[in-house]
Amino acid sequence: MLDSWLIWLIVAGALAVGEVLTLGFLLGPLALAAAVTAAAAGAGASTEIQLVIFILGSLASLLVFRPIAQRHMRTPAQLRTGTAALVGRPALVLEAVDRDGGRVKIGGEEWTARSYDEDRSFTEGARVEVMRIDGATALVSD
């Protein structure tokens, strides 16, 4: 028969693999609690103490780490950086934009642009929205 610390380690590993596959940040804290319980079992804790450690460890890690992870997983749009921060921003057409090209001004910077919808074109002075950034080219639409 397997030692209890080894069983807890297997449980921790299985939970960790489950976390990687689901990315819900629910199984990860449980894996952490199982690893702590494995250490307690290795130190000679009784089965009852192991269960208490696992339950309390699970609750503590879920209450502490899960809200932090969920906050970070839902990064607000205003915190986006680089070209991702330009998506959804308004732009001013400087040179007519169609499926072949053109130029727009986005937040004070000039960008090459193409129409997001190949059948649409925009005249100089039109207000458009950045739908996507493709390399150094803004794909725009109204």
**How high is the pLDDT of residue 69?**
80
Calpha distance 116→129 (Å, rounded): 10
Predicted model pTM:
0.53
Residue pLDDT, tens place only, 27-46: 999 999 999 999 999 999 99
Tell me: pLDDT of 104 over 80: yes
Kindly tell me if the per-residue pLDDT of 14 is higher than 80. Answer: yes
Domains and CATH numbers, the chain: 4-73 (no CATH), 82-141 (2.40.50.140)
Beta bridge partners of 134: 137
Predicted confidence (pLDDT) per residue in 39-87, tens digit:
999 999 999 999 999 999 999 999 998 888 877 777 665 666 677 778 8
Binned at pLDDT 50, 70 and 90, residue 4 comes out as very high
Distances (CA, A) of 75 to 58, 62, 65, 102, 124: 26, 20, 16, 32, 35
Helix 4-22 with 47-73: angle, nearest 10 deg: 20
Q: How far apart are the first and last CA of the chain?
A: 68
